[in-house]
Amino acid sequence: MSGLTHVDDTGSARMVDVGDKPPTRRVAVAAGEVRTREDVIGAIRDGTIKKGDVLAVARVAGIQGAKRTSELLPLCHPLAIDHIAVDLVLHPDHIGIMATVASTGRTGVEMEALTAVSVAALTLYDMCKAMDREMTVTRIRLEEKSGGRSGHFQRDPTREVTP
């Protein structure tokens, strides 16, 4: 046995059987950034991006991304999600993205939170690329998770994430 949960004894990829695990409340928080110029941030804030309300569309896209994670990532379980929140914050040189996903189930929601951040970031890029093709999607990471056998995890805030 390889010790990897998504690989069987022959080395083939497999979906983990979670049927014997007890359902628990699970919450995951992920974050990321889209780095861009100050004038793009201003246009988003002023609502002058030609494609529309950038933050509203990115928020909905992130929620949709979390809901469709199992369709995008082959070995993820489809989950009954209880809650998804995607928050976007404008800074002078970037848009901060934070997604919180909660479920009561047999497997965690880390991938759903990370997918929410990723899809929101790609949506921001898509909606603003006419102004800045050099935007950078960066620092996507798991910040915190709770529930399940492995318990609570919180990222060390002093640990720098390199792009």
Which of 9, 39, 46, 126 is an active site residue?
A: 126
Query: Is 82 one of the annotated active-site residues of the chain?
Result: no
The answer to whether 133 and 40 are in contact (CB under 8 A) is no
What does each C-alpha distance from 104 to 18, 22, 125, 159 come to in angstroms?
Answer: 13, 10, 32, 30
Distance CA 55, CA 120 (A): 9
State both tokens at 132: 């800045």
Nearest to 78 by CA among 18, 27, 32, 148: 18
Nearest to 116 by CA among 84, 91, 162: 84
Nearest to 66 by CA among 48, 47, 88, 82: 82
Mind telling me the catalytic residues?
126
